Structure 1
Amino acid sequence: MNSLRVSALHLLVTAACMLAPPAHAEEATAVAGSYCLQGVHEVGSCIRLSPDGKFEYFLAYGAYDETAEGTWRVADGAVIATTPAYDKRPTFSFKRMQASEAGAYDVIVEAQNGQPIAGVDVGVTCDGVTKSAGVTQAGGFAVDCKSAPSAISLGLGMFSIAPQSIDVAAPADNNKAYVFGLTAGDLGKKRFADVPLRVDGDALEMTYTDTPITELQGLSFRYVRER
C-alpha cells in the first residue's frame, strides 16, 4: 500500500513538473513590455521587449539617431540584449556633375531616395592644398576653391565615420556642383553584444557605451516601464 502511495505521489510530482512553465519563461513574460529612458537631459530613448523574445530600440540626441533590432533573454536578474554585428560601413560614390546655384563649386550628397543629406563633413583638395570645407546643408554647399577640386573627402563625424577621399575630374562644362551618393549600410544602427540590462522592479538599467557621442559615453541609463 505504501509503495502504491509513493508511486502515485511520484507520478503526480512528475506531471506537475512537466506542466509547470520553466522559471526563466515566467521571468521573460513578466519583463516583456515597453520601457523609456528617464532622467537624461535632451536624450529620448525607448526599448520594447516583445513576448516572443525580440526587441526594438531607438535613441535620439539632437541630430543624432540610432536604432536596433535583435533578441533578448533573461539571465541572472538581467535582460540580455543581442543584435546582428551591424558591420556594413556606409560608403560614398560620385554620381554626376550639375549646375550650381551660385556658380561656385558645390558639393551635394544624396540619399538613395535622391534627397540631399545635411551634416556630411566635407574636405577638398584644390588650389594646391587639402582643407576642411565644412558640413553639407540641406541643399547646395559652396566650396571655397578658385580652381576645380582634384579630390573631395566625405565623412560623418557624428557617427565616427572617417572621411573617404574620392578623386574627381575637372568639369568639362560650366557645371560646378559635384553630386555624390551615400550607401548607408548599417549607419545609425546600435550593436548590442549580449548587453545586460539589470531588472530593477519596473525598470531596466544599463551602462551606455560604444557611442560616438562622447558626453553620453559611460552614463547610467534607466528605462522605466510604460503603463
Structure 2
Amino acid sequence: MIGRFPAALLLAAAAPVAAPAGQAVPTSAAARAAALAGDYTAAQMELVAALRLSPDGTFRYALTVGALDETARGKWRLTGDVIELTSDPRPRPPAIEAAPPQSTPGAPFGLRVLAPNGADVPAVDFVIEFDSGPPLTAYTPGDRWILPATERRTPRFVTFSAPRYRLPSTRLPLDPQAGRTAIFQLVPNDVGVADLTGAHLTVEGDTLTLHREDGTLRFQRATR
C-alpha cells in the first residue's frame, strides 16, 4: 500500500504529549485547547487508529482497518466544543486516466485498469453507459474484463470508482472495437493519505468523536 503507516506505530513515532492531570477545568479558549493536546486511540474489530493533537496546533492521524491503511496530517483549532481539522498539505487524490489501447486480435472488446508497474488492479468498480438502454455495472477481475457476448449495444462511456482508494473518476469515452482492449491507468498520487479538511472532532471529556463524510470514529485519550 502506497503511503502505508500502520496506526499502531503512530504514537510510538514521536515523543509523548503529556496529558494534563489533576488540574481545574480550563476556562479560556486557549487553556481548553492546551488541555486537549495529547494522544488518542480508537480500536474496534479489525480497526486500530491513533490521533495526536500537538500543542503547536498540528495533528497526525493514522488508521488501519482490514487491508486499508491511511494517514493524515495538518492543523487543528478548537471552536466551542468542536475541533476543526485542516489537512496541510492537502493530498492529491488518486485518478484513473485513459492510456493507448492494446491490440488483442481475435478477442472481443474489453478493458483493463493497470497500476504503474503494469499489473492489473482488481476490484475497481465501473459503470458502462451504452448508446441506448440502462448502464452495466461491473468490476475489474484482476485481469482483462470482456464485454459479455450477449451484449449487442455499443459502449460509449465508462466511469470508475474504488472506495478503498477514495477514487472517483471522470466519465471517460470508450471506442469499442473487436480485437482491442481499452487501457486505463491508475495514477496513485497520494493514495493512502486522507484529506481531513472539513472533518471535525466533537469533544466529550476525554472522548473525541471524529466526524467525516464516510462516518464517525470515537477516540479515547491514551494513557502513558
Same fold by TM-score greater than 0.5: yes
Aligned residues: 194
Aligned residue in 1 for 2:46: 42
> Which residue of 155, 163, 179 maps to 1:158?
163
User: If each structure's helix is expressed as a fraction of its own residues, which one has the higher value?
Assistant: 1
Instruction: Identify if the C-alpha distance between structure 1 residues 170 and 140 changes in structure 2 by more than 3 Å, giving closer, same or farther.
Output: closer
Q: Match of 2:112?
A: 108
Residue number among 8, 31, 37 corresponding to 2:37 in the alignment: 31
Residue in 2 that maps onto 1:96: 100
Q: Match of 1:222? A: 219
Measured against aligned partners, the alpha-carbon deviations of 1:108-138 in whole angstroms (never above 9, x if no partner) come to 1234554433332222345855532411133
- In the alignment, the residues of structure 2 paired with residue 134 and residue 183 of structure 1 have an alpha-carbon distance, to the nearest angstrom, of 21
TM-score w.r.t. the length of structure 1 is: 0.60
1:206 to 196, 205, 209: 209
Find the residue that maps to 1:28 and give its secondary structure.
helix
SS class of match (1:208) = strand
Please state how far the C-alpha of 1:156 moved relative to its aligned partner: 1.4
Identity %: 20
In the other structure, the counterpart of 1:177 is 181
> How many Å separate the matches in 1 of 2:73 and 2:106?
43
CA-to-aligned-CA distance 1:61-119 (integer Å, 9 cap, x gap)? 44555432211245667754332595966543210222559934332123455443333
Describe the shift of the 1:87–1:23 C-alpha distance in structure 2 as closer, same or farther (beyond 3 A): closer
Tell me which structure has the larger Cα radius of gyration.
1
1:164: how far off?
A: 3.4
Name the counterpart of 2:10: none
C-alpha spacing 1:81/1:135, structure 2 compared with 1 (3 Å) = same
Say yes or no: does 1:134 pair with 2:131: no
| Cα separation, 1, equivalents of 2:129 and 2:30 | 59
What stretches of structure 1 move > 6 A for 4+ residues in a row?
none
| Structure 1 residue ranges without an equivalent (≥5) | 1-21, 212-216
Give the C-alpha shift of residue 24 in structure 1: 3.9
- Note closer, same or farther for the CA distance 1:93–1:192 as it changes in structure 2 (3 Å cut): closer
**108 and 207 in structure 1: CA distance in 2 versus 1, 3 angstrom threshold:** same
TM-score by length of 2: 0.61
Q: Which moved more, 1:98-107 or 1:135-144?
A: 98-107
Q: CA deviation at 1:37?
A: 0.6
Change (3 A) 1:124 1:89: same
- Per-residue CA deviations over 1:9-56 (Å, capped at 9, x if unaligned) read xxxxxxxxxxxxx994796387334x3213x33333221334543222
Query: In structure 1, how many angstroms separate the alpha carbons of the residues matched to 2:125 and 2:137?
Result: 8
Which amino acid in the other structure matches residue 220 of structure 2?
Y
Aligned-residue Cα RMSD (Å) equals 4.3
